[in-house]
Amino acid sequence: MEPTLDRKSRVALLVEHVESPRHKGALESADVVVPGGSPECGGSVTVYLQGDGNGGIETLTWTGQGDIISMGSTSIVVDRIVSEKLTMDEILAEDYEQVVDLIGRDIIRNRKRHATLGLSTIKAAVRQYQKKIRTTQPKTRS
């Protein structure tokens, strides 16, 4: 994916997401709650994931604090997952490089970890959810 917007517009998009973050907030009904990042360096997020029991997402929310790149990109990624109704397997297949391209390498440069903090934590939450399902549900397949 190539950035279609100029640098100024991409910065403005990140800032807009920081000022009006999508799907931000704790979720009481979450099946798994997974923290990621470092509050002292770059940023931290906590992902709240509720599965639909059928390989899909029922609800996905997040909380966190950090710089414009980490918070803006987390909001953008969550928004995309929710609006495109990505399944858990599709989330695990999401490419970190695509996130970097979307925001733009000219902005991210050596701060890739900040840009991928959201997606990496969401993937960790999905893996934890899948592990939890495997260990708590009786096997039905023969």
CA angle 119, 55, 45 (to 5 degrees): 25
For residue 2, state whether it binds other proteins (rule: CB under 8 A).
no
Integer Cα distance of 114 and 23 in angstroms: 19
Sequence-distant (≥ 6) Cβ neighbours of residue 98 within 8 angstroms: 1
50 versus 128: smaller Cβ distance to other proteins: 128
Q: What is the pattern of x (binds other proteins, CB under 8 A) and - over residues 73-112?
A: ----------------------------------x-xxx-
Q: Could you say whether residue 127 binds other proteins (CB under 8 A)? A: yes
Q: Under the rule (CB under 8 A), what is the footprint of other proteins?
A: 8, 11, 14-15, 34-42, 67-69, 107, 109-111, 121, 124, 127-128
